[in-house]
Amino acid sequence: MKKSFMQFVMGTAILGLAMTASAAGISSNVVKIGVLTDMSGVYSAIGGKGSVTAAKMAIDDFGGKVLGKPIQLISADHQNKADIASTKAREWADTEHVDMITGLLNSGCALAVQKIGTEKKMISMATGAGSTTLTNEHCSPYGIHYVYDTYALPKVAGSAIVDTGGKTWYFLTADYAFGHSLEKNTKAFVKAHGGKTLGQVRHPLATADFSSYLLQAQASGAKVIGLANAGGDFINAVKQAREFGIVQGGQTIAGMLVFLSDVKSLGLDVAQGMNFATSFYWDRDAASREWSKRYFAKTNAMPTMDQAGVYSAVTTYLKAIKKAGTDDPDTVMKTMRGMKINDFFSINGYLRADGSMVHDMFLVEVKKPSESKSPWDLLKVIKQVPGNEAFMPLSEGSCALVK
């Protein structure tokens, strides 16, 4: 009895050793990447099928193989519900042996998946979510926040607007975590640059009629009406502000999170002159144009920063596996932290200990209809802001992994 128990212990130990040894190389002989995104809901124009296409392009461009093993792609719809996202992520980790999940279009889903990633040692690279909690209170050794956050956007756009004369602000804020965080951060930058907030109104998510809120904003007399919302809410608010003559009356509309698809949806007539911050614009330079045109050929739309970010995230991940010689998550994360991330999407990018992928941000302006030469010629880049200025300094953050 005793002997057999010892044998059992020895056996387990040897098995354990064997498993550690096989950590070099590719686990389960395949690298599996999962795109979890909004396929049919409010944010599906921002990510959706376009993100899956971008991930597929990244894998194809990488040659379909890494370290001699095939790369597989799977995708699913998180329906913007955190419980669905976490069920899917758990299933992917347990039965599909997915190595990395990207996409994640809303903060609730991203937080849920990042938490499961921590538990299962599965890397998550959130490209669509905004909340800074991903890299602060809830930061994870396996969680990466890749494209933008609710600190960098208002830092770039809010500060620039205050500096050019927009001293008084009134906020229309989506009434949930993302909106609140965006509003709070923007207010802080407005204040830091000598501006003042006159008031705010919180509207429910997915509001069709903004006119009541707009009249309140108009009555406040603020120079700038800050929109701390996204997607359809942002579009309706801007459209109706124009209908009520708010812009013509001398007030400026400032969107704190604007995607290219939103500008396309509004049209230049309505959106012209608006300034906002973005991580990416397709017509920024030769490299971004080259990739975006290839993307356009497949999807018939120019990429949003989320879709371009998915390509970049997948490529960076695959490069890290190649460099590390393994897909072991700890080693890959360590390798990524040591890499410079420079491609058509990310300029001067690097991955910080808290999970932020810090890279240059851009202040852009929507073109006038007369300046636009083609259907997707929508923006002009006004200013390039270095990543270290745009993103929250590590010293201000609250991530427990940063010592």
- How far is the C-alpha of 106 from the C-alpha of 37, rounded, in Å? 9
Per-residue binding letters, 77-116, with other proteins (x by CB under 8 A): ----------------------------------------
Q: Which is nearer to other proteins, 17 or 206 (CB)?
A: 206
Which one of residues 69, 81, 120, 264 is an interface residue with other proteins (CB under 8 A)?
264
Per-residue binding letters, 147-176, with other proteins (x by CB under 8 A): ----------------------------x-
The residue range among 34-42, 318-326, 337-345, 391-399 that interacts with other proteins, by the rule CB under 8 A, is 34-42
Per-residue binding letters, 196-215, with other proteins (x by CB under 8 A): -----xxxx-xxxx-xxx-x
Coil, strand or helix: which one is 105?
A: coil
CB atoms within 10 A of CB 114: 31
Computed on alpha carbons and rounded to an integer, the radius of gyration of the chain in Å comes to 22
Backbone angles phi, psi at 270, to 5 degrees: -85, -40
Q: If we measure between CA atoms, which residue out of 275, 287, 293, 387 comes closest to residue 345?
A: 287
**Side-chain half-sphere of 157: how many Cα atoms within 13 Å?**
33
Coil, strand or helix: which one is 11?
A: helix
| Inter-CA distances, 344 with 19, 278, 279, Å | 38, 14, 11
183 binding other proteins? (CB under 8 A): no
Which one of residues 35, 85, 266, 347 is an interface residue with other proteins (CB under 8 A)?
266
Q: Which is nearer to other proteins, 87 or 216 (CB)?
A: 216
47 binding other proteins? (CB under 8 A): no
Report how far apart the first and last C-alpha atoms of the chain are (Å, whole number).
49
Nearest approach, Cβ of residue 45 and other proteins (Å): 5
CB atoms within 10 A of CB 401: 14
46 binding other proteins? (CB under 8 A): yes
The count of residues in the chain is: 403
Sign of CA dihedral 210, 83, 140, 21: negative
Which one of residues 27, 72, 168, 265 is an interface residue with other proteins (CB under 8 A)?
265
262 binding other proteins? (CB under 8 A): yes
Nearest approach, Cβ of residue 154 and other proteins (Å): 21
Per-residue binding letters, 232-261, with other proteins (x by CB under 8 A): x--xx--xx--xxx---------------x
Q: Which residue has the tokens 């302006």?
A: 365
Please name the helix (run of DSSP H) or strand (run of DSSP E) that holds residue 153, with its range, or none.
Answer: helix 152-163
The residue range among 42-50, 184-192, 341-349, 391-399 that interacts with other proteins, by the rule CB under 8 A, is 42-50
Beta bridge partners of 383: 363
- Give residue 220's identity as a one-letter amino acid code: S
Nearest approach, Cβ of residue 267 and other proteins (Å): 5
Beta bridge partners of 385: 361
Nearest approach, Cβ of residue 203 and other proteins (Å): 6
- How far is the C-alpha of 320 from the C-alpha of 33, rounded, in Å? 14
Q: Which is nearer to other proteins, 229 or 275 (CB)?
A: 229
Residue numbers of the site for other proteins (CB under 8 A)?
Answer: 40-46, 48, 175, 201-204, 206-209, 211-213, 215-216, 219, 231-232, 235-236, 239-240, 243-245, 261-262, 264-267, 269-270
